[in-house]
Amino acid sequence: MVKHDGKARRDVDTEQRILDAAHTVFVRTGTAGARMQEIARTAGVNSALLHYYFRSKQRLAEAVFHRAAAQLLPAVVGVLVSERPLSDKVKAIVEIELDRLSRTPYLPGYILSELAHHPERITQLVSALTGSRPEALGRKLLRSVSEQIDVEVRARRMRPIPPEQFLVNLLSLCIFPFAARPMIEALMGLDDRAFARFIRERREALPDFFLNALRP
């Protein structure tokens, strides 16, 4: 029995090591540019073992995409549907997005590219992570934000703004520096350390910038 458990554990470790390697390769090169041989080499396994666990590049790509997007979506959704004040939600989302994207800087470009080539994955992803279809989840998020915007507007603490614009503006301000990182670094003359400092400064400044823009 002990031997069987150890074998099962080694199998899980091997599968996880392959997934880790595939994540590294796919996020850096995109699905189209990734090669199974490179993934096998990065994972320290042979190609036959790679195909044994995931059968095909397509199945491996789907597993990596699900894992990559799952690093952001549940946390952001949890904040948006919570009972926190709207200003606290803004600060929390900025922290979540900038902290996690700082650790995985190629993630936004990878996710956007994958969705452009495989739009059906968003339905699969949202359903798997939340049990809802994207449109149902979207309505829930918009309703929550809209109700809080209405409260702020009635109290004259905020100018009216459609909830769709509120969410897209906030998420775009978080994601764009990472999606456009090579261009930003080239135009501003930033190396890796300077870009990290730029993101730390942005984490402090962005919530107030965003909220101040909406005040009457």
Q: What is the pLDDT of residues 153-166, one digit of tens each?
A: 999 999 999 999 99
| CATH code of the domain covering residue 33 | 1.10.10.60
> Does a structural domain hold residue 62?
no
Longest CA–CA span in the chain (Å) reads 69
- For range 21-32, the mean pLDDT: 84
Count up the domains in the chain and report the number.
2
127 and 45, same structural domain? no
- Are 75 and 48 found together in one domain? no
Whole-structure pTM value = 0.78
SS3 call for 160: coil
Does residue 63 belong to any structural domain of this protein? no
The mean pLDDT of the chain is 87
Phi first, then psi: what are they for 152, rounded to 5°?
A: -65, -40
Q: Do residues 40 and 46 lie in contact, with contact meaning Cβ atoms separated by under 8 Å?
A: yes
One domain, residues 12 and 37:
yes
Q: Which domain holds residue 49?
A: 2-57
